[in-house]
Amino acid sequence: MLFQVEMTVKLPPEMPAEQAAEIKAREKEYAQGLQRQGKWRHLWRVAGSYANVSIFDVRDNAELQQLVSGLPLFPYMAISVKPLCRHPSSVREDDS
Sequence-separated (6 or more) residues with CB below 8 Å from residue 22: none
Q: Is the predicted pLDDT of residue 95 greater than 80, yes or no?
A: no
Q: What is the pTM assigned to this prediction?
A: 0.91
Residue 41 near residue 87, CB atoms below 8 Å: no
| Cβ–Cβ under 8 Å, residues 87 and 71 | no
List, in order of start, the domains of the chain with CATH numbers.
2-84 (3.30.70.1060)
Task: Write the pLDDT tens digit of every residue in 15-39.
Answer: 999 999 999 999 999 999 999 999 9
According to DSSP, the residues that pair with 77 across neighbouring strands are 9
Q: Give kind and range of the element (H or E) at residue 51.
A: strand 51-57
Q: What is the pLDDT of residue 49?
A: 96
Those residues with Cβ within 8 angstroms of residue 56's Cβ, 6 or more apart along the chain or in another chain: 2, 3, 5, 39, 40, 41, 64, 67, 68
